[in-house]
Structure 1
Amino acid sequence: MRQRYKPWADDFLNEHQDLIIQNPAEHKGKWQKLFSKEQPLHLEIGTGKGQFIVGMAKQHPDINFIGMEVAKSIVVTAGEKMLEAELDNLLLIHADASHLLDYFETDEISTLYLNFSDPWPKNRHEKRRLTYSSFLKQYQEVLHSEGELIFKTDNRGLFEYSLCSFSAYGMLLKEVSLDLHKDEDPLNIMTEYEEKFSAKGQPIYRCKALFQK
C-alpha cells in the first residue's frame, strides 16, 4: 500500500532525534542507556502507526519498548502518538529490519513482536516475508535464550506459512490461536489493522514461539 506523502516528516524526525532514532547502529549493545531506567527490552518490527507499541508501553511501565518502522511517512505518525503519551519507556527506530544485527547485540532483546506484516503472497517474494528463515536467524541472535517471538496477522496464508517456517527452523510453538479475539486475551493490545479487520468479523491469528538455543 502506498503511504501518503507527509512534507513535514523530515522536520519532525530532525526535531525529535532523541525519540526517533535514525542511526541505530550507534546504539548497538547500549540501548538501555537511552531509557530512564534499565528494564527488559522488547522490540516490535513494523510498528506502523504506533497504536500497539504505545499501548504496550502504557500497559507495561516495567518494560522498555522499541518500535522499528522503515516507512518515514508512517514512523512520524507513531512519533506523534508517542509524544502525546509522554512515555519514558518507549523509543522508535526509523530503519530496515533486514539489518537487525547491525542494530542489536546478541541476547539484547527479551521479546520480539511481528504484527500484521506484509504477506508478500507471491512465491518469488518469499525471502521478503518477516518470518522467512533469514529473518528468523537474526531474531534468534538478538533474542536471549528464553525470549519469545510473538506473531499476529489476519492473513491465514501467511500464518500457515509462518507456522511451517517456525517449525522447520526448529522453534518451539508455545501458543497457536486461530481466533485471538474469541479467546479473549485481556492483555491483548490491538493494532490499527487489527481493529479494522476484527470489526469486519475476520479472525486474528497469533503464535508465540521460542528458539531452541
Structure 2
Amino acid sequence: MARQKLPRFIHNSQAENVIERGKELYSTIKGEWREKFFNNNNPIVLELACGKGEYTVGLAKKFPDKNFIGIDIKGDRIARGSKRAIEANLKNVAFLRTSIGFLEEFFEENEVDEIWLIHPDPQPRDKEEKKRLTNINYLNLYRKVLRPNGDFFFKTDNSGLFEYSLGTFVEAGYKILRQTTDLYSSELLPEHHDIVTHYERLFVEKGFKINYLAAKI
C-alpha cells in the first residue's frame, strides 16, 4: 500500500492544482483564491471531505463559470482527483490538503459561495458525534466562510446521520429549502447533476436510499 501511495504524494508535490503544506500558496491563499489561483472573479464552491474528487471534477465540468475546491486530509485520495482534473484540462479546479476543521485558515469570511458535503463518514457512535461533519460546531464553522444566502448541499446514504443533520442544520440557523429520503425516486434528482461517486453507486446497488437536502444560511 505504501508503494502505491508514494507516487501519489510525489504527484501532489508537483501538481499546480494541489495546495498542501510546503507550498507557498498554502500559507498565503486565504482571501485570495480568485486572484492568486483562479485568476477570475467567479463564484467559489467547496466540496468538503472530497475523497477522490469525483464530485469536484464532475461539477467543474458542468459549471465552467464557477471555481471548485476539493478539500481532504488524505493526500493519496486528492492525487486521484488532481489527475482527473488535469486529464480533463480543467482550470477551474483546485485541491486543498487539510483538515476541515482548519477552514478559517484558508478562507476569509463570506469568501465561499456554495458548499457540497457528499457521503461523509457517519461516525455513528455517540462518542463520535463531535467528528460528524454536520455537527453543529462544523456547521457554525461553514457559516463563517459561506457568504450570506450561500448554498449548502448534503447527500448521505446513512439515514441516522441524515435525521441527526436535519436537527443540527436548523439549530445552526440554516434554512432547509428542499429534502428527500429517497433522492433517486424524487423530483429533486436533477439537483445532484447526474454525478455518482463510486461509493454511492455501491450503496444504491445494495438497496440503500440516498438522502439529500439543500439549504441556505
Same fold (TM over 0.5): yes
Alignment match, 1:195:
201
> Given the alignment, which residue of 19, 22, 27 partners 2:29?
27
Alignment match, 1:159:
162
Per the alignment, do residues 128 and 198 of structure 1 end up closer, same or farther by CA in structure 2, a change over 3 Å counting?
A: same
Alignment match, 1:79:
82
Residue segments in structure 2 that go unaligned for 5+ positions in a row = none
Q: What SS does the corresponding residue of 1:157 show, helix, strand or coil?
A: helix
Per the alignment, do residues 202 and 109 of structure 1 end up closer, same or farther by CA in structure 2, a change over 3 Å counting?
A: same
Please tell me whether the aligned partners of residues 27 and 103 of structure 1 are also in contact (alpha carbons under 8 angstroms).
Answer: yes
Partners in 1 of 2:125 and 2:104 — Cα distance? 27
Please tell me whether the aligned partners of residues 9 and 76 of structure 2 are also in contact (alpha carbons under 8 angstroms).
Answer: no
Residue segments in structure 1 that go unaligned for 5+ positions in a row = none
Alignment match, 1:207:
213
TM-score by length of 1: 0.92
Deviation sequence 1:106-142 (CA, Å, 0-9, x none)? 0000000111101111111111110111111111010
Please tell me whether the aligned partners of residues 116 and 153 of structure 1 are also in contact (alpha carbons under 8 angstroms).
Answer: yes
Per the alignment, do residues 118 and 4 of structure 1 end up closer, same or farther by CA in structure 2, a change over 3 Å counting?
A: farther
Q: What SS does the corresponding residue of 1:29 show, helix, strand or coil?
A: coil
Of the structure 1 ranges 32-41 and 138-147, higher mean CA displacement relative to structure 2 is found in: 32-41
Partners in 2 of 1:25 and 1:191 — Cα distance? 31
Task: Show structure 1 runs of 4+ deviating over 6 A.
Answer: none
The question of 1:62 aligning with 2:65 is answered yes
Q: What SS does the corresponding residue of 1:39 show, helix, strand or coil?
A: coil
Matches for 1:1-213 after TM superposition, within 5 Å: 6-16=5-15, 18-23=16-21, 24-33=26-35, 34-183=37-186, 185-186=189-190, 187-211=193-217
**Alignment RMSD (CA, Å):** 1.7
TM-score by length of 2: 0.91
Please tell me whether the aligned partners of residues 179 and 214 of structure 2 are also in contact (alpha carbons under 8 angstroms).
Answer: yes
Number of aligned positions between the proteins: 209
Partners in 2 of 1:103 and 1:210 — Cα distance? 22
Per the alignment, do residues 6 and 180 of structure 1 end up closer, same or farther by CA in structure 2, a change over 3 Å counting?
A: same
Identity of aligned residues (%): 34
Please tell me whether the aligned partners of residues 3 and 74 of structure 1 are also in contact (alpha carbons under 8 angstroms).
Answer: no
Partners in 2 of 1:5 and 1:130 — Cα distance? 28
Partners in 2 of 1:50 and 1:13 — Cα distance? 14
Superposed displacement of residue 14, structure 1: 1.3
